[in-house]
Chains A and B, each alone.
Chain A
Amino acid sequence: MNRQTALKTRETIILPEQLISYFEAVNAHRNLSAADLFCESGALVAPLGVQVRGREAIAAYLADKCSGMTLYPEQIEVLAPSVIVVMGHVKCPAFNVNVEWKFHLVGTEIAVLQVRLLASLQQLSHLRNSKYAT
């Protein structure tokens, strides 16, 4: 009953379908499609705690801040059936930066997506103990 599909990355990982759709849509700059994966009142919590609420605002934020970026999900950690953390990197113009995406799902929709820039993937272990982690 789980519709798990493999998303090809450097190491193939298995992501829930709506997460695959999110990464594919952002990478193709289909910002409206990406925003449609959120529930109507959904929120994108961008780096620095910038909070963007609602599909229209999320699409506008992605169009403004993610131009020229490509997302590469690499690892997955399922904290709860509805809370999934994906780690990977984002290729910005000229450089790569490590990123953590924390998806909170309600049913098949994304309720909240928290995005954090990480100095290194090792930083994750200390994040687990901070107030950022659930």
Chain B
Amino acid sequence: MSDANKEFEFETKPAAGVSPEETAEIVSQIVAGVPAEEIRTHGIKETVQQFNGLEVDAKLAVLYYLYDAMGDSVTPAALGSADLDLTKNFFDEFDALPFGDAQLDAMRALVRCDDTPLGNLYGNLVENNKLAVWYVLAERMGDSVIGMPKDYKLADAGKQSLDAVKQLDFEQQITFLRDIANDMGRNAV
């Protein structure tokens, strides 16, 4: 406990004399000061559309560069057993692949939403875990997963997509990655 906290006066009294109607009005006033959701998601929709127009390898490259660029803002978490369980089936299947082109083809198939065993395992994951799968893949690329070729040149469309995402604020970038990740693989009907 730090001494600095002792001077805090928290509101701990029941709200005497505040009716539910008055409380609802207070809530409305606070919420009215928050920028509307539609404005903030508009930019994301455009960048998602731009990204969706890219060819498969450019998509992989943009994803890789983005996760890489986010390294300062987002840090890897030590994997707990609960996390491992949720993505375990996916990585058991992925890690059975030999290092190299087979891994690259598997990632391409995910991006293209091909009907593969891996794509179906991926599709069964919840949004947060799909995001996690790409985070882990990007972390492992260049190590236990085949990386971007050193001489890979992102075409103009890919550069534009990457630039567009970089213009977004952090919250929007995370949402962009989540939206992109959610669309990949074979979603369970």
Chain A residues with CB under 8 Å of chain B are 1-4, 6, 12-14, 16-17, 39-43, 45, 47-51, 53, 65, 67-69, 76, 78, 81-82, 84, 91-98, 104-109, 111-112, 114, 116-120, 123, 131-132, 134
Pair count A-B, CB < 8 A: 162
Q: Are B174 and A93 in contact (CB under 8 A)?
A: no
- The answer on a CB contact under 8 Å between A107 and B40 is no
Evaluate contact between B73 and A76: CB separation under 8 angstroms: no
- State whether A82 and B11 are in contact (beta carbons under 8 Å apart), knowing that A47-B175, A49-B35 are contacts in the complex: yes
B7-30 contacts to A (CB < 8 Å)? 8-16, 18, 20, 23-24, 26-27, 30
Which B residues, 72 to 96, have Cβ-Cβ distances below 8 Å to chain A?
72-77, 79, 82-83, 86-87
Please determine whether B34 and A45 come into contact, CB atoms closer than 8 angstroms. Answer: yes
**B149: which A residues are within 8 A, CB to CB?**
none
Chain B residues contacting A39 (CB-CB under 8 Å) are 20, 23, 27
CB-CB under 8 A for A81 and B10, given A48-B40, A93-B83, A106-B18: yes
Are the CB atoms of B171 and A47 closer together than 8 Å? Answer: yes
Docked-complex contact B23 and A108, CB < 8 angstroms: no
B contact patch SS: helix
Q: In the assembled complex, how far is the CB of residue B88 from the closest CB belonging to chain A, in whole angstroms?
A: 11
Enumerate chain B residues within 8 angstroms of A98, measured Cβ to Cβ.
73
Please indicate the chain A residues that have their CB under 8 angstroms from the CB of B188 in the complex.
none
B102 at interface (Cβ–Cβ under 8 A)?
A: no
Whether the pair B75, A96 counts as a contact (CB closer than 8 A) is: yes
Task: Judge whether A97 and B174 touch: CB under 8 Å.
Answer: yes
B11 touches A105 (CB 8 A): yes
Contacting pair B128 A92 (CB below 8 A): yes
Complex Cα distance A132/B11, Å?
A: 22
On whether the beta carbons of A48 and B1 are closer than 8 Å, the reply is no
Interface residues on B, range: 35 or more
Residue B36 interfacial (CB < 8 Å): yes
Q: Could you mark each residue 42-69 of chain B with 1 if its beta carbon is under 8 Å from any beta carbon of chain A, else 0?
A: 0010000000000000000000000000
Residue pair B16, A94 in contact (C-beta under 8 Å) = no
B6 and chain A: residue at smallest CB distance? A14
- Taking CB as reference atom, which chain B residue is nearest A51? B31
Known: A53-B27, A108-B11. 6 other contacts (CB 8 A): A2-B8, A65-B127, A94-B77, A94-B87, A97-B74, A131-B33
Bound-state CA distance A53–B26 (Å) is 13
**Interface-central residue, A16, A82, A112, by most chain B CB under 10 Å:** A112
Give 9 CB contacts A-B under 8 Å. Answer: A12-B1, A41-B27, A49-B37, A78-B8, A93-B77, A111-B30, A112-B30, A114-B34, A117-B174
